[in-house]
Structure 1
Amino acid sequence: MRSAVLFIVFNRPDTTKKVFEAIRKAQPSRLYVTADAPRLDRAGEQEKCKEVRRIATAVDWDCEVKTLFREKNLGSKIAISSAIDWFFEHEEEGIILEDDVLPVSTFFPYCDELLERYRHDERVGVISGSNLVSKRFTPKESYFFSRQNAVWGWASWRRAWQYYDITMRDWPEWRDKGGLKSILDRNKLFESYWTSIFDIAYNGGIITWDYQWTCTCWYHGMVTALPAHNQTYNIGFARPDAVHTKGDVPDYIKKSIPEPLEFPLTHPVDVERSVDADALIDRYVFRANKRVFIQRKIRQIPLIGDLLSKIKQSILKVL
């Protein structure tokens, strides 16, 4: 395989082993492994992190391995974004996998081919392996273009990542000028939803890195290639050690079982996002409808949000 791979790991030996086996079968010639440091107040985490690092570097094929192992815990927001910085300091382009994103075998050649095809096309910012509406929307070609830069298994270029800004310094001015209107097809509910998300991220209320990447791609007019068939599956849901995937597996993920792509790939005639596919993603993945919108707004009101939380806890105690 031509493209380098960045493997982002932390403290889950079981999921790390599964994803590493998928990487091992693809046999990239260059593998970058990065891991945040264990948290000192978590019993047993140091041993888990040590085991994860051993698993993720157990390369038995012809491969150059580089590592970035943190000595102090940075948290996922800084640890992951700075690891991607590090990756693109060494590589012009490459594939990025986290320790809970399990790809099928065709994910790697799909990314490999599209990285080369769109290397110099600044309209394209991301090659994603994730299609969570594949049962509802299947294009004639092997992939399509979307505004949603899904990062459950993805690839990109240094030329795109160079714009990433974790502080989102351009967001307030862009928001006030109505920058989201055309991107979100003038859907007022969805515009309000993403405005709230980006406002919270801008003010430091979200401890992740990927909403900032979405904002970056939209601000710079970059679209994402999504496969006709889902190429990855998130195996990190419904686990006690989950961070951003707490709770049961959502229905839209259960229905998006990965399937291999057929080769040779067939390509869209032009780089033009599918409005129909984006509408389905809005509806079934982000649930952009009035009822859910009102529920989210109510939860954002501190007193009502606290009251709903207390009611839920009381009910659970009775049950």
Structure 2
Amino acid sequence: MFDIAIALFLFKRTSGLERIISQIRKLQPSKIYLIADGPRNDSESDECIKCRKFAEQLIDWNCTVRKNYATSNRGVFNNIGNGAKWVFQYEEKAIFLEDDNYPELSFFTYCKEMLDKYEGEERILWICGTNYLKQMNIQTSYVFTQHLLPCGWASWAKKFNKFYDGELKGFNDPHKMETFKNSYLNKSLYRQQLRSIERTKYLLDTNIKKSSWDFQMLFSLRANNLLGIAPANNQIINIGADSFSVHGGTSMKNKMTSRFCLVETKPLSFPLISPSKIEINEYFEKTIGDIILYPFSDRVKVFLGQIVKFVLRINKYESISEKLRERKHLLRK
């Protein structure tokens, strides 16, 4: 029986759940956590209930199941970011999967070994299951990185609770902002991700929409000069590029979604081979950075969008289409 708790984040997606839980079933973990967001409107209520019941039915082995089910929609940040903190009220370490993260079986053993090996190394904040490279010619089984690789991960209660800055309070700390900036090899990627985190901060502060948990993780890593671990072979494939996706892509036709979700998985070989030093792998950092960076045409669109917002006096962190719909609605009154 697998002795590391596994947490599964749910909303209303049932397609893929059977595949994901069938992998978990092979391990027979002793503890499962189900964390489910609530409906955004009345029409989603039945779907949310159906998803929860389906997940419960699929967990058919002898184990402890803890449930944290929202009665109304709390958003991605509260469901995942704060949901992880809820798990860490009970567990010293845990593995986390979303309802569209299909794992290699080796992912779980890799996480367990990394959780045990680096528990006392404070600089390592989390273990990632994702690698966006189709092939990686290295001698080790994993690398150290500061990139955000959020599909399938594991962490420790002590370190997550200490460093995860869910409300982005570190934005008020000049030293942390300088550390964040200096962590980037690619300044275009720095500007891109800074904009994303600034927008997340604005939405958190104004309580408009709490649809991100992972940009906070990115900031927590870089602003505190921490590291994550990424596997040499991709361990998680995202099977949720559909209409149910809340903060990921909804179609593989999207360039960025295809970059992140079309990398096939491959089992890791054991025993794992460790790097000789705890330091960033420069090749991995540069190559993954190029993948995460928007294509040039998309960066131009972002720049032009900022000009349009300025001309129309729309807040730079808000959606042009949503604001135009609001104005159109007001004119009709």
TM-score tier (shorter): 0.7 to 0.9
Deviation at 1:19, TM superposition (A): 1.5
Q: Once the two structures are aligned, what percentage of the paired residues are identical? A: 27
Native 8 Å contact 2:7 2:33 kept in 1: yes
Native 8 Å contact 1:132 1:285 kept in 2: no
Query: Secondary structure of the residue that 1:256 maps to in structure 2?
Result: coil
Alignment of 1:153-164 (within 5 A): 153-162=152-161, 163-164=163-164
Native 8 Å contact 1:10 1:52 kept in 2: yes
Alignment of 1:1-319 (within 5 A): 1-41=2-42, 43=43, 45-58=44-57, 59-135=59-135, 137-162=136-161, 163-174=163-174, 178-185=178-185, 187-204=186-203, 207-237=211-241, 239-249=242-252, 250-253=257-260, 255-287=262-294, 292-303=298-309
Deviation at 1:296, TM superposition (A): 2.3
Task: Rate the CA distance shift 1:76–1:300 in 2: closer, same or farther, 3 A.
Answer: same
Native 8 Å contact 2:192 2:293 kept in 1: no
Give the partner amino acid of 2:285. D
Native 8 Å contact 1:20 1:55 kept in 2: no
Task: Rate the CA distance shift 1:294–1:175 in 2: closer, same or farther, 3 A.
Answer: farther
Alignment deviations for residues 63-102 of structure 1 (CA, whole Å, 9 cap, x no partner): 1111111122212222222211100111011100000111
Deviation at 1:13, TM superposition (A): 1.2
Give the partner amino acid of 1:147. Q
Give the partner amino acid of 1:7. L
Task: Rate the CA distance shift 1:274–1:192 in 2: closer, same or farther, 3 A.
Answer: same
Give the partner amino acid of 1:37. G
Task: Rate the CA distance shift 1:2–1:149 in 2: closer, same or farther, 3 A.
Answer: farther
Q: TM-score, normalised by structure 2?
A: 0.84
Task: Rate the CA distance shift 1:176–1:149 in 2: closer, same or farther, 3 A.
Answer: closer
Unaligned runs of 5+ in 1: 311-319
Q: May I ask how many residue pairs the two structures share in their alignment? A: 302
Deviation at 1:14, TM superposition (A): 1.4
CA RMSD of aligned residues (A): 2.2
Task: Rate the CA distance shift 1:112–1:148 in 2: closer, same or farther, 3 A.
Answer: same
Give the partner amino acid of 2:12. N
Task: Rate the CA distance shift 1:21–1:302 in 2: closer, same or farther, 3 A.
Answer: farther
Task: Rate the CA distance shift 1:10–1:177 in 2: closer, same or farther, 3 A.
Answer: closer
Deviation at 1:241, TM superposition (A): 2.0
Deviation at 1:183, TM superposition (A): 0.7
C-alpha distance in structure 2 between counterparts of 1:73 and 1:247, whole Å: 20
Query: Secondary structure of the residue that 1:2 maps to in structure 2?
Result: coil
Unaligned runs of 5+ in 2: 204-208, 313-319, 322-333
Alignment deviations for residues 274-295 of structure 1 (CA, whole Å, 9 cap, x no partner): 12111111112324x7554333
Q: TM-score, normalised by structure 1?
A: 0.87
